[in-house]
Chains A and B, each alone.
Chain A
Amino acid sequence: MIDAANTSMSSYTSPHPRIYIRRALSHQPPAMSRFSEPLPPLARASHISHAKHALARLPGSLVNLDASRMAIVFYCVGILDLLGALQDQTSDMERVSWQTWIWEQYAIGRYGTGFKPGPFMSRSSTNSGHDSPHIIMTYTALLTLSMLRDDFARLNRPGLLQFVGSCQNRDGSFSSTPNGGGDSDLRNLYSAFAICALLGDWSSIDVERAIGFVDSCRTYEGGYGQLPSCEAQGGTTYLALAALHLAPPGPRPRLAPAEKARSEHWLVHSQDASGGFRGRTGKAPDACYCFWGGAALRILGAHDKINAYAFTQFIASCQFPFGGIAKAPGQPPDFYHTYMSLAAAAMYAPRVELSARAYGQWDFTPFNPLLNAREETVRWARSYIPARTS
């Protein structure tokens, strides 16, 4: 398949000026076929300071207008959580101030309560309908608060349920904001399911209709597209499979055995000879798809059918010398790829014997592929987010 790989690589590094700069920065990884070599060390300290730096950096010029800050906060706090640095290497004061900022994005509106991506449309602590919570940001905020071990005393559960319900469309899909507002695709549906799972309450949405929508996104390749009739893609395939497995049991199995086998087949074939995963058939591998494809296989119970060593080695080779992880070797890092890569490694890095534990090892605590957080964080979320019965 060498010819196929070459073609996709050449279209991948398009003649864009930035690419040349990146090339100049590039530190070429060792030849990818040498899977017997020891893994390059996990640059734990660099990744931690990379994330901490971003969370602490507060110049006024960066404050404005950002529609995605909650996601960045999720990735940075998530990096610290995955690396076990949140309790030891940040202060109580820092963690409390991060919680406070997140709660300030909590909005109470006509359609219930949830979290906004940031304060960019806020005029006061109440909203108008043009300052609505966002369903993806609400999911990330709940997880981030769980990483920070928030007690969720401020959470209005009926309001949250109402918000999630108000984002559902007639075809079963979910929009990012209530009442058909914003784009609608599997990202929003997954977020809605994750929120319901965390609340332990599915009463405000039509689960079966939503499942029908997920099914309509399935493609002949065995993956799922972002919308019905769209091409199979690693990210949306994860979202679909995770949603099907988060959902409460239905009248029939969520995935027929033949469908499961076909999905497995497509996902396993997403692993490139380099060990990395590609997002779509024929494209170049990218560290974030190691997470999406890898987590999807975990969910299917098929994680032992890929080359986990090559997988981890690909991620290791995407580490940037000054901290952070990039989508591919020699590229500049960002928080999204850093978080996703570490989460992927947490699921697949070869287990380190207790006696062999040392600095630089790819050593992680158990990770929950369905909700995308450490098991311990998910346990916290599941015990503090649902309504208290006492």
Chain B
Amino acid sequence: MIPPPSALYSARQEWADVVPLPQYEKANPLAPILYSEECLSFSGVDRHTRAKNPPDRDATDYLRAVVKAGEKSERVLQLTEHVIRLNPAHYSAWQYRYETVVEIQWPLDAEIALMDELADKYLKTYQVWHHRRLILTLSKKAREELAFVANILQKDEKNYHTWAHRQWVLAFYNDDALWAGELDFVDTMINKDVRNNSVWHHRFFVVFQSGVRDGEEDRERVVRRELIYTKQNISLAPNNASAWNYLRGVLEFNKLPMSTVATFVKPYTVPLPATLVDLVDVENPPPGKGAELPCVAAIEFQADVYEEEARSASVDKAVELWKSLAEEHDTIRKKYWEYRIQQALLSV
């Protein structure tokens, strides 16, 4: 689109008809300061907050003026773009921009093209994604959107906003053609980084939490597929909390006992044997060469299997495993394991 103007609005002929409205501030202002990245989604402070200079003030003086006059025009788009570039968390500028886009029937493709650039630039700003969603609701170009998200995820594979946006696109349009490629996409992402929890979560959303699609009606088959998939990934990288959480999630969601995968789990709870079995058992892939064992998540899982049996002999075995976690393998959670021991003994 039109690049933001370099000269002050007050010096520009095409804005001569607008009387700028300065910001109203009476009391001693309480000052902000330069902020740093990450976690800012919860701080309420946008990461692009920074010291402002006179041109910024000039632009917002004109924004206040056009809002007051209710002007909706192409130059208002130019002005809001300018203000947004200066402060992407300026929610009033975004809101007025959206209203203007709708009212003057601005080409949505052009708006999305601009948003492509801004999403890339201000990846962690809530408003960028909110506006994008509003525009997409009008443009309905979902397929292109999934490609865009896939591309943006290459830069930051765990970006929360980007994943949330992808989930929204899929759920909002809920079109079979859109869902069709999703498991392959997940697979590609997991192959890139098997410990990316965002992808595992996305897989759960696609497989279990977004309805049943063509070819997935046989749920038993789907569950079996998911269990094998997870077990294979655990065998490649046993110390991966994301995969273990997924395994637990699949079982719990489908109301299957934890003992369903007991045979698989067992070899991961002990040190790696000197000679590995060269048997291909799809249901129970063994730990691979060089695996760091015993695996804490496996020990914990095994203890839960014992606890589930709820017989006093099996509870004893669970207690033994929890003790080994508390004393040796997972000492940071000592108090938690002691609590589990106490609870289990109480319930026997």
Contact = CB atoms under 8 A, between A and B. Distances in A.
A130 B92 contact: yes
B160 A306 contact: no
B60 A220 contact: no
A272 B332 contact: yes
Given A68-B44, A292-B42, A281 B197 contact: yes
A117 B201 CA distance: 34
Contacts of A130: 67, 92, 95-96
A356 interface: no
A292 B253 CA distance: 26
A1 B239 CA distance: 5
A219 B250 CA distance: 12
Contacts of B188: none
Interface residues of A toward B: which range? Answer: 35 or more
A122 B196 contact: no
B164 A226 contact: yes
B28 interface: yes
A235 B41 contact: yes
B64 interface: yes
Given A119-B23, A292-B42, A282 B242 contact: yes
Residue from the set B160, B197, B201, B210 with the largest chain A CB neighbour count within 10 Å = B201
B197 A282 contact: yes
B57 A64 contact: yes
Given A4-B241, A68-B45, A307-B335, A231 B31 contact: no
B334 A3 contact: no
Interface stretch (B32-40, B115-123, B278-286, B316-324): B32-40
Given A62-B31, A229-B210, A281-B241, A327 B39 contact: yes
B333 interface: yes
B49 A3 contact: no
B35 A334 contact: yes
A266 B242 CA distance: 11
A65 B242 contact: no
B249 interface: yes
A275 B335 CA distance: 13
A203 B311 CA distance: 50
B316 to A, nearest CB: 21
Interface in B116-132: 126-127, 129-130
A306 B336 contact: yes
Contacts of B67: 121, 128, 130
A176 B130 CA distance: 11
Residue from the set A8, A181, A229, A275 with the largest chain B CB neighbour count within 10 Å = A229
Contacts of B33: 54, 57, 62, 72, 334-335
B29 A58 contact: yes
Nearest to A281: B197
Contact of B130 (A120, A182, A327): A182
Given A128-B67, A220-B252, A306 B335 contact: yes
Interface in A45-86: 54-55, 57-59, 61-76
Which label, helix, strand, loop or mixed, suits the secondary structure of the B interface?
helix
Interface in B1-33: 21, 23-33
A73 B30 contact: yes
Nearest to A265: B336
A99 B111 CA distance: 41
A89 interface: no
B91 A176 contact: yes
Interface string A82-104: 00000000000000011011001
Contact of A65 (B52, B204, B240): B52
Interface string A142-158: 00000000000000000
A161 interface: no
B27 A100 contact: yes
A2 B330 CA distance: 11
A300 interface: no
B25 A122 contact: yes
B288 to A, nearest CB: 13
Nearest to A132: B92
B332 A231 contact: no
Interface string A315-341: 000000000000100011011110000
A63 B87 CA distance: 13
Name the residue in A55, A220, A230, A233 with the highest tally of chain B Cβ atoms < 10 Å from its Cβ: A220
A170 interface: no
A119 B21 CA distance: 13
A273 interface: yes
Contacts of A209: none
Contacts of B202: 231
A117 B127 CA distance: 15
A122 B61 CA distance: 10
A63 B296 CA distance: 52
A298 interface: no
Interface in A285-313: 286, 288-289, 292, 304-307, 310
Nearest to A235: B42
A181 B131 CA distance: 11
B115 to A, nearest CB: 15
Contact of A307 (B90, B296, B332): B332
A8 B237 CA distance: 14
B210 A119 contact: no
Interface string B83-123: 10011011110011000000000000000000000000000
B149 interface: no
B339 interface: yes
A74 B60 CA distance: 25
A229 B205 contact: yes
Interface in B125-176: 126-127, 129-130, 157-158, 160, 163-164, 167-168, 171
A8 B195 CA distance: 8
Question: Which of B91, B126, B158 is the most central at the interface, judged by chain A CB atoms within 10 Å of its CB?
Answer: B91
Contacts of A280: 158, 197-198
B164 A182 contact: no
A63 B29 contact: yes
A279 interface: yes
Given A187-B42, A220-B249, A229-B164, 13 more contacts: A3-B239, A8-B195, A62-B31, A63-B25, A72-B32, A76-B30, A101-B27, A123-B21, A183-B130, A220-B253, A221-B201, A226-B41, A227-B164
13 contacts: A1-B296, A3-B239, A55-B31, A62-B29, A64-B23, A65-B90, A68-B89, A220-B252, A226-B41, A231-B197, A281-B245, A282-B195, A282-B242
Which 7 interchain pairs have the tightest Cβ spacing?
A220-B249, A71-B44, A336-B43, A64-B52, A231-B201, A281-B197, A68-B45
